[in-house]
Structure formats: structure tokens, C-alpha cells
Amino acid sequence: MQPASPSSDSAGAPRITLAHLQAMVGRQQPIAMLTCYDHPTAQALVGAGLHILLVGDSAATTVLGENSTTAATMDFMLLITRSVRRGAPNLFVMADMPFASYPDVPTAAANALRFVQIAGADAVKLECDGRHVEIVRALSASGIVVCAHLGLLPQRAVQHGGYRAKGRTSAEADRIVQDATALAAAGAELILLEAVPDEVSRRVVAAVSCPVLGCGAGPGCHGHVVVLHDILGFNDHPPRFVDRLADGPAFIHNAAKEYVIAIQTRQYPAARHGYPTK
């Protein structure tokens, strides 16, 4: 595959870089981030004021209907990241490294490089704990922007006994703060905290100097991310930190219904839809 070549941004906004995100933190301007998994959606999101699109491995559950994000593969994540990059050339695109794609430094480095070189990602995100310090150090040393994802780690739901909020005990909270500090010191330039109490987020914000993004991690974070399909109403049981902002299923259903009615009433296809003979 050739590297993704971004088309022009119809909104004409300047490209958002890591420096831009760091400056936003300095100005205390909140960073807005959503998941995105495909080209037309990326195009629709351009101009909405978002700063980061996360090509999350949540695509496996959200758009493929799998039971776990562990179903996402490298090839799948590369293709969808590339499609998002092309749809939103000027937004900061963060790609999720999928399950088992970073078991050791050489494998992590090779896979992270594919996200940057082939898919055009600005950063890669790894579900981390203190054991990933050397991997983060190696990626960062090779020039790859790393986001360390801490707290609830969906790829480890089986190991961790399900999807539950993290950092609610003082031992867990201390561990998250220590891990965030170690990963930031190793070169992580972004931290993402999922499903942790606001107090824990504030401790992380105080402990590191990089932008801290929260997914259900309280107002203390520098920025916030949720799954797009959750705000669009495609999840009947969204997490408590998500507000449903649209009725996406009804929108699609009604368009399909209108199409069926047009066929049944013979209004479609009409003369204007045809190819006249020459």
C-alpha cells in the first residue's frame, strides 16, 4: 500500500498537530475528540470543531458487531485509519494499536510504524500499564507520538474480570498515577484515562506535563473522548458518561423506509434516474 495522501480539507482549517494540542492545554482550552472509523464519517466530522479523531479498536464492537475489541486486527485497523486520515486531512488522527499488536519492542515498533507510514496516523494509542514503559520509550525514541491509555482497558476485559471503572480504591488510584508518570517520563506525549474518578484524573494532570484526555474520567482532564456511535444513539446501553445526542438508527431507518415506499408506489425509479439511449 502507498501512504495515505490526504485530500484537501473543505473546512480549510489549519492542520492540528501535537504542538497545537499542547498549546491548547497551555491556554486551558478543552480538547474535543471523538471516535471515527470510516471516510464519509470523517468528512462529516470535519468542520465540527473537533481536534482529534480516534480510530478506536471499538470499531470491532461498534461497527462490526463483535463481542470484544480483541477482534480488531492490524490489517483492519490500518485500512480504517487510512480512510479516516483521507477524510479528515487536517485533524489529529490517533490510531488504536489492536489487541496483541505490541507484545514486545520490535513487534510494537514495526506495527506502530505501519500506522504512521501506511495509514498516515499522527499518533498511536496503546492500552498500557507499567509493563509497557520500554515499548513506549522505544516508539517515542523512533519519533512516533504515543498516547498511553490507562484505567479501564477494554482489550484486557477478560484478564481484568470485565468492563469496570478503575482507580476507585486508593491502591488502584496510586497505580494509575504511578504508571502515567512512568509512561510520560518514557516519552508518552498524550495520556488517555478511561473510566476513572475525577480525583484520579486530577492527580494524573498534576503529575505529568502532557495533555491528558478522558473517556469517562471527569472534568479534570484536558480533553474528552466518547464513542461517536454512542452519542448517535446506536448503543442501547451506553456508558453512564455518554449523552445520546441524536437518533441515528431512526435517521437510517426512515431513509430506508422512504426508499422502499418510493419503490412500492413506483415513484422510483423515475425517468430522471435512467440512462436515455444516444
Q: Is 266 left (phi over 0), alpha (psi -120 to 50) or beta?
A: left
Cβ proximity to ligand KIV: between 11 and 227 the closer is 227
Cβ proximity to ligand KIV: between 56 and 220 the closer is 56
Q: Is 191 helix (H, G, I), strand (E, B) or coil?
A: strand
Cβ proximity to ligand KIV: between 150 and 205 the closer is 150
The DSSP line for 137-186 is: HHHHHTT--EEEEEES-GGGTTTTTSS-----SHHHHHHHHHHHHHHHHH
Cβ proximity to ligand KIV: between 156 and 175 the closer is 156
Q: Is 266 helix (H, G, I), strand (E, B) or coil?
A: coil
Cβ proximity to ligand KIV: between 138 and 152 the closer is 152
CA 147, 148, 154, 156: dihedral to nearest 10 degrees?
140
Give min distance, CB of 263 to ligand KIV, in A: 37
Active site residue 258: no
Give min distance, CB of 54 to ligand KIV, in A: 6
N-to-C CA span, the chain: 40
Give min distance, CB of 61 to ligand KIV, in A: 9
Give min distance, CB of 95 to ligand KIV, in A: 10
Give min distance, CB of 33 to ligand KIV, in A: 9
Q: Which residue has the cell 436515455?
A: 276
Sign of CA dihedral 236, 159, 80, 124: positive
To 10 degrees, what angle do helices 105-117 and 133-141 make? 40
Residues that bind ligand KIV (CB under 6 A): 35, 54, 56-58, 96, 192, 194, 215, 225, 227
Of 127, 194, 199, 258, the active-site residue reads 194
C-alpha distances in angstroms, 51 versus 87, 105, 138, 213, 226? 14, 29, 26, 12, 13
Give min distance, CB of 3 to ligand KIV, in A: 23
Q: How far apart are CA 20 and CA 6, in angstroms?
A: 19
C-alpha distances in angstroms, 130 versus 15, 124, 202? 32, 17, 19
Cβ proximity to ligand KIV: between 190 and 208 the closer is 190
Q: How far apart are CA 174 and CA 60, in angstroms?
A: 31
Report, as residue numbers or ranges, the catalytic residues.
194
